[in-house]
Amino acid sequence: MKVLKGQDILALGFMTFALFVGAGNIIFPPIVGLQSGPHVWMAALGFLITAVGLPVITVVALAKVGGAMDSLSSPIGKVAGGLLAAVSYLAVGPLFATPRTATVSFEVGLAPLTGESPLALALYSTAYFLLVFFISLYPGRLLDTVGRFLAPLKIIALAVLGIAAFALPAGDIGQATPEYVAAPFSQGFINGYLTMDTLGALVFGIVIVNAIRSRGVESPQLITRYAVIAGLVAGVGLALVYVSLFRLGSGSHEVAVGATNGAAVLHAYVQHTFGSLGSGFLAVLISLACLVTAVGLTCACAEYFSRVLPLSYKTLVVILAGFSLVVSNLGLTKLIAFSIPVLTAIYPPCIVLVALSFCKDFWQDQRRIVGPVMLVSFIFGLIDAIKGTAFAGLIPSQLSHLPLSEQGLAWLVPSVIVLALAVVCDRLLGKPSEALA
């Protein structure tokens, strides 16, 4: 029976970590650290739950069912499961996340050096997606190209930044903003959503499993074990990166005065600490982080859609890379503005799906539980999404003040209520075979 060597397991863990750490993961923690002030570690706790805990749990859940999202969503039926999978893959793939990796890496890493212009973005994004295209063409080599080469480079760059954050703080911790004084944990919890790592985990599951299979491992038990180890390695790596970036942000009040986003905080700190080399270092770090994530997303989307569409994997890589290139040239502001409502709507049912997958042995019939709870979470997530758009006036005032609405968790209480009702009905109806008898 084929097994992975120790170095292959470590490379798999590095690859999984590298797939998750994109520009968003590097940008959001510094602004949370800056704004939370003396409450930084309480905010960090909330952030780590949604930005580390949920993605690792999702990787484990997917590993248990072979890596494919449609296997995880089987309790809600093929049509609904296929629709959810397609929306999730498109959202964290060519519509939002993949193009965003190019625009963020350009604006944070290179725009300070080259200046912002449509031509500069077009040239950069073309070169960027050509590289993504060529690496993504050979998914069987992903463990070698990413796990053994690109991931270590990214880890070294992040390690330098993380050590500097603790060894060379830019200053003392400043004052917290009002929202972090009032509820630091909740604010950190909400900001953890913005990394999109739970949705990313749903997409990356099949990439991780295929990377294991590319080494000749066929045993489902071993595949699950290696995927869990990879998820845990990635989780530890993510936590270390986030903690160092929280520390970086919390001590940057003096050098990042007036900063409104993590990119500005990060750039100010790096420039202050590394001097003239700062911008170049930041450009390399962000570009590496984004490139690896873009490759992982492109591979995952091509793998999925090659199974549901009459198109080959390589054809889909061409289409996805080309489409992402076009969308990336719309600019970061438009991309983020359009993506936030969509992500707000689809995140809750995905979280519910992953959470309930660990409880399937407690139900008589999963279909009675998972479908209704996911539907309710989606409806209330959709309400939250609409509240952040120009159509907010269409939402009745009663629905604008639901419990936990201010924390972005208006879907949680209704979902728990429906879960309780569904469990009672499930117990009363018994097993499907008994009910038919």
pLDDT digits (tens, 9 = 90+) for 244-259: 999 999 888 888 887 7
What's 313's DSSP letter? H
Closest listed residue to residue 15, CA positions, set 146, 203, 145, 140: 146
Give residue 25's pLDDT.
82
Residues in the chain: 437
pTM of the model: 0.80
Give residue 45's pLDDT.
92
Phi/psi at 24 (5° precision): -60, -40
CATH topology for the 4-346 domain:
Amino acid/polyamine transporter I (1.20.1740)
Give residue 148's pLDDT.
67
pLDDT tens-digit map of 368-422: 899 999 999 999 988 888 877 777 777 777 777 778 777 667 889 999 999 999 9
Q: Which two tokens stand for residue 205?
A: 């599951």
| Number of alpha helices (DSSP H) and beta strands (DSSP E) in the chain | 22, 0
Q: Which two tokens stand for residue 48?
A: 């780590």
CB 190 within 8 A of CB 411: no
Question: What's the CA gap between 419 and 246, in Å, rounded?
Answer: 36
Question: What's the CA gap between 223 and 67, in Å, rounded?
Answer: 9
pLDDT tens-digit map of 274-285: 876 777 777 777
Q: Which two tokens stand for residue 370?
A: 């998972």
Domain regions of the chain by residue span: 4-346, 358-430
In Å, how far are 141, 357, 371 from 217, measured between CA atoms? Answer: 15, 25, 34
Give residue 408's pLDDT.
66
Instruction: Please give the average per-residue pLDDT across 308-313, as a whole number.
Output: 91
Give residue 84's pLDDT.
85
Question: What's the CA gap between 329 and 100, in Å, rounded?
Answer: 10
CB 397 within 8 A of CB 383: no
CB 217 within 8 A of CB 226: yes
pLDDT at 434 over 60: no
Q: Which residues contact 286 (CB under 8 A, 6 or more apart)?
A: 23, 26, 104, 105, 108, 109
Residue-averaged pLDDT of the chain: 83
pLDDT at 188 over 60: yes
Three-state DSSP at 290 gives helix
Give residue 187's pLDDT.
83
Q: How far is CA 115 from the centre of its chain?
A: 29
Give residue 244's pLDDT.
92
Question: What's the CA gap between 135 and 392, in Å, rounded?
Answer: 42
Question: What's the CA gap between 297 and 234, in Å, rounded?
Answer: 16
